[in-house]
Every structure is written in C-alpha cells, then in structure tokens.
C-alpha cells in the first residue's frame, strides 16, 4: 500500500478551524490569540511563511518589509509536505487573526452564468416579480441614477430595481446569451447588451445604482414609493439567494435592506445615493462583510478575486503546473491586451512571488508562461478544464478578477470580455445549456384531448 503524504497546510487549516470554532475563542484576548496562531504558522523551503487567518484564507509573509499578503497557498504536494514551523515566527497583526464568522462564511460559487443555467424556479419567480412591477399604478417613478441609460425612457424604477439587484448580486455577471433571466428584460433595455449571442459580458452594477433609486424617491418626499422599491430589491434577493452564484451578495443586500423595511425611519438622516450607500453598508454585519469588499475596499476585493482565480486553476496542478504562476500569467495577458498602461498599478497588490511572475511575463515576450496566453481565442490544451463545472468556475473567476482590476484602475471593461475568460467560453460551447428534462417524465395525457 502506498504511503499517504502528510499535508501540513491541510492539517493546520483543520486545526485553526476547530480552534476558532470553539465558543471560548471569541473571549480570548488578541495577544493570546496571536500566540496561538504563531504556533500554527508554516514556512516552506523557499523561506516563505504562511498563515491561515482572517477570511479563512492563507496569507504569505514578506520578510523584506514584514508585511503579509493575501495569497493562495502552494499546490505542489512536495512543497506542502516539506513545510515546517518557522523559528522564530514573524509577528502577526491583529487584523489577520481569524474570527468565528470567518470560518462559517459561505463564499458561494465562482461560476459564471455560462454552462449551468439559472434554475427554472428562480427565473419564474423573478418573472412574477417583474410582471407585478409592470402592473399599471398611479405615480410610478421612472428610472433614475446610474441605471437610467440602461433602459428606455418610459421604464419604471421598479423594473430597474429588479434588474439592478440581479446584477449587483451576481459574483461574475457573464451570462449565456440565451439566459432567460436576461431575455425577460429585453423589451425594457435601451440598447443591446455587451457581448454576443454566446456570452453577454455585463459591467458591474454599483450599490449606488440601488440606493440611488431609493434616494430619488426620498428627495421627492415619496418615502412610500421608495420603500416599495427597497421591498422589490429584498424580494429579488430572496429569489436569487438559493443560487450560490448570487447567495453571498444576496444575503448581504437582505441584511442591509430588511432593517429599513421594518423601521422606515432608519435612513432619514441620509440624503443622496452616496450617503445612503454608506448607511446601508454600515448595517452589513461582520459575517457578511466579505461580500461587500468591492464597495468597502476595492484593493482587498481584487486580492480575493485573484485568490479565487488561483483556486479555479487548481486543476493545472495535475499537469505539474503551478496555479499561482498560471494565474499571474493570465492576469498579465488580460492587462497587456486591455490596459497595458495600467500594468504597474497592480504591483503593490501582489505578493512578492506573484509580482515577480507578473512582471517577468509582461516584460519578456519569450517567457515560457506566455504559453498560457490564449491563441486565436482558444486556451492552450493544458488550460482546458476537465469538466463543465470547472470551466464555468474558471470563466467566472477570470471575469471577476478582470472587473476588479478595472475598477481599481478606472478602466472600462471590454465589451467582448477579457482575453483569458473569453477563451474559456470555447470549453463550454457544447455544454452551454443544462440537459432537457427526460421526455419520459412528461405525461402523454394531452394526446387524448381534442
């Protein structure tokens, strides 16, 4: 029988999760927590020190300046197995100490909406909300704020509230071109959506787009109408929540909006979309704050999306490749194509190893990792995911990473997607839709009716 190789990274992660889940952990003073975590650090043979801490994720220590960087751990079994406790351990800042809510937070799914479809139940319940929003009513407000240009001039704010909630809650708003959740809005949209018949690459929707709809009604003294819009946002979020591609942000939106519906006076002191945005974010509880990092810390949001991309690339380790190096190469490919002048702005946000790889791939046209770059819209064979779910996760994580660095640099997202994520679409072309229900499940009673 072959010996099972011990994995210190997996063992430390299990140990930390169990320790932090203990009800007594929350009452332990920070210095004592730091000592406990210092005893659970790992050092790999390259000298890097690793911590499994806040957000239930790994951090890499930079010995040159003492800083810690959010960084997915090494994938190579040999590298992991050779890790040992550092002597002496570097100091751990309090903000990286894990909280019990970090260990229970459900990150949902990084899958895009290409491949696995949105369920019929979700689309039908969304359609019901949309039908109700379109019923003739007196004094129905029209769309205002950032969503105004998306819709025809006579479209109501209720329709925009449902659409905006879907887009804000989506982890990566890359949708199949025939996705019903989009096509039901076709008559309301002022222009074709970006992308093509295969994939609609939608830009991120800011929280200001939702708070702006509510703020506009408050500014006109129509709080009742504003609360109805907020109720529609909450109702849409409840419909979306069972889908893991929506669930983290849907949960955060419910936590921000439901208190307002119960206590309508909560936001009376806030005026304007930005002030309301800040008031809503202040209500987001700690266990859900990771879902709103795009609003509260765009830099950390980018780091987490890049971490997601490394995890989505875990399948390349079976070919002997390093998922971290491949992720750095794909980031370089996208930046080089879309906004080469912004490449240097991402250096401070990468850990030392990723930074060196990212720089080397950009600087050297003959670098071996440029073999990871798409060619003629296709990924290299080694970057073709092994199954549909993995391809959808890679597409989503790649697109979300692109949107994150675009937000940081003020770059407009490309209408046809980023090169790396667009190339992944070719891996899903033959599996873009869920299988149709088995015909045997359909009753044949209809044939006897005239």
Quote the distance between the C-alpha of residue 381 and its chain's center: 26
Helix, strand or coil for residue 24?
coil
- Can you tell me which residue has the tokens 């995890």? 311
pLDDT of residue 431: 65
Going by pLDDT thresholds of 50, 70 and 90, the confidence category of residue 309 is very high
Question: Whole-angstrom Cα distance, residue 292 to residue 169?
Answer: 10
What pLDDT, in 10s, does the model give residues 346-381? 999 999 999 999 999 999 999 999 999 999 999 999
pLDDT of residue 221: 85
- Residues 50 and 11 sit within 8 Å (Cβ to Cβ): no
Question: Whole-angstrom Cα distance, residue 291 to residue 132?
Answer: 29
Question: Whole-angstrom Cα distance, residue 165 to residue 207?
Answer: 9
Q: What percent of the chain has pLDDT over 90?
A: 84
- Is the model's pLDDT at 52 over the cut of 60? yes
Average pLDDT over residues 189-203: 93
pLDDT of residue 435: 54
What pLDDT, in 10s, does the model give residues 322-332? 999 999 999 99
3-state helix, strand, coil in the chain (%, to 5): 60, 5, 35
- Is the model's pLDDT at 449 over the cut of 90? no
- Residues 69 and 350 sit within 8 Å (Cβ to Cβ): yes
pLDDT of residue 268: 84
Question: Whole-angstrom Cα distance, residue 302 to residue 293?
Answer: 9
pLDDT of residue 144: 85
- Is the model's pLDDT at 442 over the cut of 80? no
pTM, full prediction? 0.93
pLDDT of residue 130: 96
Q: Backbone dihedral region of 133: left (phi > 0), alpha (psi from -120 to 50 degrees) or beta?
A: alpha
Going by pLDDT thresholds of 50, 70 and 90, the confidence category of residue 150 is very high
Q: What percent of the chain has pLDDT over 70?
A: 94
Going by pLDDT thresholds of 50, 70 and 90, the confidence category of residue 65 is confident
Within 8 A by CB and 6+ apart from 91, the residues are 34, 66
pLDDT of residue 4: 63
- Greater pLDDT, 429 or 25: 25
pLDDT of residue 270: 85
What pLDDT, in 10s, does the model give residues 71-110? 999 999 999 999 999 999 999 999 999 999 999 999 999 9
Average pLDDT over residues 3-20: 91
């Amino acid at each position: 029988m072959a010996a099972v190789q011990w994995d210190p990274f997996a063992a430390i992660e299990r140990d930390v999760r169990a320790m932090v889940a203990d009800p007594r952990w929350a009452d332990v003073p920070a210095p004592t927590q730091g000592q406990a975590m210092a005893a659970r650090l790992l050092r790999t043979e390259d000298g890097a020190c690793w911590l499994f801490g806040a957000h239930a994720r790994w951090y890499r220590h930079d010995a040159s300046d003492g800083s810690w960087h959010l960084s997915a751990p090494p994938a190579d079994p040999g590298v992991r197995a050779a890790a040992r406790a550092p002597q002496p351990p570097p100091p751990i800042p309090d903000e990286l100490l894990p909280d019990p809510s970090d260990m229970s937070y459900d990150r949902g799914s990084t899958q895009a909406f290409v491949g696995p479809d949105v369920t019929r139940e979700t689309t039908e319940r969304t359609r019901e909300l949309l039908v109700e929003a379109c019923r003739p009513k007196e004094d129905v407000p029209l769309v205002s704020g950032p969503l105004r240009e998306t819709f025809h001039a006579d479209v109501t704010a209720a329709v925009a509230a449902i659409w905006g909630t879907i887009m804000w809650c989506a982890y990566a708003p890359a949708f199949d071109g025939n996705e019903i959740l989009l096509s039901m809005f076709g008559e309301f949209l002022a222009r074709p959506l970006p992308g093509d018949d295969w994939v609609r690459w939608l830009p991120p929707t800011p929280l200001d787009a939702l708070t702006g709809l509510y703020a506009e009604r408050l500014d006109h003294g129509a709080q009742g109408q504003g609360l109805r819009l907020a109720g529609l946002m909450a109702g849409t979020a409840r419909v979306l929540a069972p889908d893991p591609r929506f669930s983290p942000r849907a949960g955060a939106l419910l936590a921000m909006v439901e208190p307002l519906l119960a206590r309508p006076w909560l936001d009376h002191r806030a005026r304007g979309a930005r002030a309301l945005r800040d008031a809503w974010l202040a209500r987001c509880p700690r266990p859900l704050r990771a879902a709103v990092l795009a609003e509260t810390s765009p830099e950390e949001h980018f780091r987490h999306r890049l971490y997601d991309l490394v995890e989505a690339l875990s399948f390349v380790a079976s070919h002997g490749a390093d998922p971290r190096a491949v992720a750095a190469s794909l980031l370089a490919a996208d930046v080089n194509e879309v906004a080469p002048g912004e490449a240097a702005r991402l250096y401070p946000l990468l850990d030392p190893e990723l930074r060196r790889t990212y720089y080397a791939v950009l600087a050297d046209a003959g670098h071996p990792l440029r073999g990871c770059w798409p060619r003629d819209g296709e990924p290299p064979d080694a970057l073709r995911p092994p199954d549909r779910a993995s391809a959808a996760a890679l597409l989503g994580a790649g697109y979300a990473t692109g949107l994150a660095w675009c937000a940081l640099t003020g770059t407009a997202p490309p209408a046809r997607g980023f090169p790396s994520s667009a190339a992944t679409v070719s891996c899903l072309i033959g599996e873009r839709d869920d299988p149709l229900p088995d015909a045997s499940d359909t009753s044949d009673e209809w044939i006897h009716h005239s």
